[in-house]
Amino acid sequence: MDKARLRQKYLEERNKRLRPDGNDQYLRVAGRLAHYLDDPYTPVTAREPETDHVTVAFIGGGFAGLVTAARLSEVGVKDVRVIEKGGDFGGTWYWNRYPGAQCDTASMVYMPLLEETGHMPSEKYAHAPEILAHCQRIGKQYGLYDNALFHTEVVSLDWDEAASRWRIRTSRGDDFTTQFVGMGTGPLHVPKLPGISGIESFKGHSFHTSRWDYGYTGGDPSGALMEKLADKRVGIIGTGATSVQCVPHLARACKELYVFQRTPSSVDVRANAPIDPKWFSGIATPGWQQRWLENFTANQAGGSAEEDLVQDGWTDLSRRIRARIMDLPREQRTPPNMLAAFEDSDFEKMEEIRARVDSIVQDRETAAKLEAWYRQLCKRPCFHDSYLQAFNTPRTRLVDTDGKGVERITENSVVVAGTEYQLDCIIYASGFEVGTEYKRRAGFDLTGRGGVKLSDYWASGMRTKHGIHVHGFPNAFFVQPTQGANLISNVPHNLSEAAKTIALMVRHAQANGFREIEVTKEAEDRWVELLLTGAGRMIGSPDCTPGYYNNEGREPGPAANLNVGHPAGPMAYFKYIDAWRNAGQFEGLEFR
């Protein structure tokens, strides 16, 4: 390995992609583009607005809402109303039904409440329809459907000081109160479009991957052949994790497929396999999923587990780093040597991933363009065993834009470097808003004690205790990874720990007749100070090629320094929070 050459190449590729407009390069899907948000899966049905009172309202019906409602139900809090903009439970799995959609994290650790529901995942990496069905299973088992409000978006959330309640208003005219409110709106739920000149002039068909139009393409989410594309010239813009999964399906269906690439993804081995029921019944002894969760986290997020139950691409890089560090004599295990071990393992891994492209893709020029020149965690790592192969099919063509992106769109074509590609359909695999304001993505702001807006309180960065509580916003709980474990490779682990914590706090309040739970300012400040003693953000280095992980390569400002997790890592946080909630003192919170 010529490390100096690799560093230089990574830098050149990054610099080529930096652009002054950062996040502003993307179009907000609103106004004339709002139709890209229409729900193609479930018709919206009329209903009367709700004007009542509930014990807990939860905003978002994805994994966060489902696990929190389930844990609340287990401790006897059953009056929970989930508010969800989709037409059913599922969150990201409700919207993302594109062909080939699949979980990149092993089902055994990714799918929540497997033990409680008795569901055995059918594959090591489950496909989207199974995960959506699992969300519905949780909804049914915990009785969440009756009280849920689908196709409903919260427009305001205001603390009523006198009544110690939150008042919620929605896009469907609901105006009701709740004692507690949970928020699990997720980071990736607002589709964005590339700001390509002429995008609105295209007269053919087009849609975003999170609103797949099976009426136009034929086929279905299980991957049935999209027979209606047999006479269509289709272009897909974007080559992130979504595109990697749906391109193989498009490749076998379209008359012609053009894959417009700005930056290649790193695509490692998938090695999916069915789960053997016999094997599963052997391992599924009481507490199995918690053991698997902890093992996965310990293996790939700084722990020291002896065995690796999951054995996959997420744990591979960490295994290599650990092996390198362990090879060093103890006195040489210094921070610079650890960073070197990290870099060497990364170079080695990425060289393997690039070699894999060469071994699979037959056309030399195409293969070279599909090689990713950045560190593995600069962009979302992908794992697939038929994406690269799709470029060996005669009707599939990679149109690489050399980091510049599509030049323009006309009435009937996509233009790259002056060449026009005539198309019947454009599919936007252009991802979701991440770097935009929380309030804009959520669609509402919180107005807490004394009329303070959350957006103002967080103007200089997020401030919480445990990523869950915010001072001045009593009885409101955030269910998400940041300022908690911040475990990115398996987000549901963060959510399920937050859910357990919230359930115990609500039960404690109810059992003792408290109407309010609030973190003290001192406890919040102490937590934030602790977070800032850590090594900083694990992903999002400005040295990386631009993308949503690093604010499109632009300096994100000091507020981003607070987008971190516990300084001792995810495993340490999970141990800490388990002890904190089970101690029953809820140190740092005030119950009134």
The whole-angstrom separation of Cα 283 and Cα 134 is 20
With CB under 6 A as the contact rule, the residue among 170, 185, 243, 496 that binds ligand NDP is 243
Residue 416 binding ligand NDP, by CB under 6 A: no
Edge-first strand order for the sheet with 205-208 is 205-208, 425-428, 233-237, 256-261, 396-400
| Closest separation in Å from C-beta 428 to ligand NDP | 8
The site map against ligand NDP for 524-563 (x = CB under 6 A) is -----------------------xx---------------
In degrees and rounded to multiples of 5, residue 90 shows phi and psi of 130, -30
Q: What is the three-state SS of 138-165? A: HHHHCCCCCCCECCCCEEEEEEECCCCE
Other CB atoms within a 10 A radius of the CB of residue 380 amount to: 19
Among residue numbers 25 through 84, which ones bind ligand NDP (CB under 6 A)? none
Residue whose CB is less far from ligand NDP, 448 or 570: 570
Which helix (H) or strand (E) element contains residue 460?
A: none
How many chain residues touch ligand NDP (CB under 6 A)?
Answer: 28
Residue 430 binding ligand NDP, by CB under 6 A: yes
Residue 464 binding ligand NDP, by CB under 6 A: no
The site map against ligand NDP for 373-392 (x = CB under 6 A) is -------x------------
With CB under 6 A as the contact rule, the residue among 431, 474, 481, 484 that binds ligand NDP is 431
Whole-angstrom Cα Rg for the chain: 24
| Closest separation in Å from C-beta 297 to ligand NDP | 17
Residue 383 CB burial class (10 angstroms; 0-12, 13-18, ≥19): buried
Residue 235 binding ligand NDP, by CB under 6 A: no
43 residue type, one letter: P
Residue whose CB is less far from ligand NDP, 159 or 548: 548
Other CB atoms within a 10 A radius of the CB of residue 266 amount to: 27
Whether 130 contacts 137, CB under 8 Å: no
Q: How far is CA 272 from the centre of its chain?
A: 21
| Closest separation in Å from C-beta 498 to ligand NDP | 19
Nearest-5° angle of CA 284, CA 268, CA 245?
A: 80
The whole-angstrom separation of Cα 527 and Cα 484 is 10
Residue whose CB is less far from ligand NDP, 20 or 287: 20
Which residue has tokens 């069915």?
A: 274
Nearest-5° angle of CA 302, CA 305, CA 311?
A: 90
Give Dmax (Cα) for the chain. 70
Whether 136 contacts 89, CB under 8 Å: yes
Q: Check the CA dihedral 136-141-146-147 and report its sign.
A: negative
| Closest separation in Å from C-beta 341 to ligand NDP | 26
Which residue has tokens 């935009």?
A: 436
Residue whose CB is less far from ligand NDP, 264 or 467: 264
Residue whose CB is less far from ligand NDP, 238 or 467: 238
| Closest separation in Å from C-beta 484 to ligand NDP | 18
**Distance between start and end Cα atoms, the chain:** 62
The site map against ligand NDP for 395-414 (x = CB under 6 A) is ------x---xx--------
Residue whose CB is less far from ligand NDP, 403 or 474: 403
Q: Which window, 100-108, 165-173, 227-235, 366-374, contacts ligand NDP (CB under 6 A)?
A: 100-108
| Closest separation in Å from C-beta 449 to ligand NDP | 35
Whether 505 contacts 590, CB under 8 Å: no
Residue whose CB is less far from ligand NDP, 242 or 315: 242
Residue 238 binding ligand NDP, by CB under 6 A: yes
With CB under 6 A as the contact rule, the residue among 185, 242, 295, 413 that binds ligand NDP is 242
Among residue numbers 302 through 341, which ones bind ligand NDP (CB under 6 A)? none
Which residue has tokens 């496909």?
A: 127
Other CB atoms within a 10 A radius of the CB of residue 286 amount to: 8
With CB under 6 A as the contact rule, the residue among 102, 152, 170, 413 that binds ligand NDP is 102
Distances (CA, A) of 388 to 141, 248, 364, 396, 398: 40, 8, 13, 11, 10
Among residue numbers 167 through 226, which ones bind ligand NDP (CB under 6 A)? 188, 194, 196
Which residue has tokens 């790259």?
A: 416
| Closest separation in Å from C-beta 127 to ligand NDP | 9
| Closest separation in Å from C-beta 549 to ligand NDP | 8
With CB under 6 A as the contact rule, the residue among 429, 487, 495, 589 that binds ligand NDP is 429
Q: Which window, 146-154, 240-248, 318-326, 582-590, contacts ligand NDP (CB under 6 A)?
A: 240-248
| Closest separation in Å from C-beta 128 to ligand NDP | 8
Residue whose CB is less far from ligand NDP, 196 or 589: 196
Whether 536 contacts 105, CB under 8 Å: no
Among residue numbers 245 through 284, which ones bind ligand NDP (CB under 6 A)? 245, 260, 262-263
Nearest-5° angle of CA 368, CA 312, CA 397?
A: 25
Interface residue list for ligand NDP (CB under 6 A): 17, 102-104, 188, 194, 196, 237-243, 245, 260, 262-263, 380, 401, 405-406, 429-432, 547-548
